[in-house]
A = this chain, B = another copy of it.
């Protein structure tokens, strides 16, 4: 287990509200670049016209896409923004509510907003740095301090 202390950054907290047909992963990536957000905690509610979520396939070392081809409530969207190799990247997990109350979810690969997505971005400092793990196939957040084994 590794950890680090965080301060709320100068950027503070941003509320971002997406319009119909906007794609949240791209919009939040662009927003983080434009506003210099290098580490943040992200939460959101709203609704999607449709979405593709993912489950991480350990053998394939990649996300297996799961299409959700129906209008759904975004019951929770939770994750973070951290510094990858080419700038800030969001890491978001979604729980989606269907018309009959059943839920589906996964790692958010892409989605189409309808009618709104209300996103709160709480910036933190220092920046959250990601390190790529070739054995896993993922870049993981790597805090600076490690707790000694008990």
Contacts and interface: CB of A to CB of B under 8 A. Distances in A.
- Max chain B CB contacts within 10 Å: which of A106, A120, A124? A106
A103 B103 contact: yes
Contact of A95 (B12, B27, B41, B95): B95
Nearest to A47: B56
Bin chain A's interface residue count.
35 or more
Contacts of A147: 30-31, 34
Given A14-B3, A14-B4, A75-B93, A136 B115 contact: yes
Contact of A124 (B13, B16, B105): B13
A110 interface: no
B15 A1 contact: no
A22 interface: yes
Interface of A: 1-8, 12-19, 22, 27, 30-31, 34, 41, 43, 45, 47, 53, 55-58, 64, 66, 68, 71-76, 78-80, 91-95, 97-107, 115-116, 118, 120, 124, 128, 133, 136, 138, 140-143, 147, 150
24 contacts: A3-B15, A5-B14, A6-B12, A13-B124, A16-B143, A17-B140, A31-B147, A41-B43, A43-B43, A43-B78, A45-B79, A47-B56, A53-B97, A55-B72, A64-B99, A73-B105, A73-B106, A74-B93, A75-B106, A80-B118, A93-B97, A97-B104, A102-B104, A103-B104
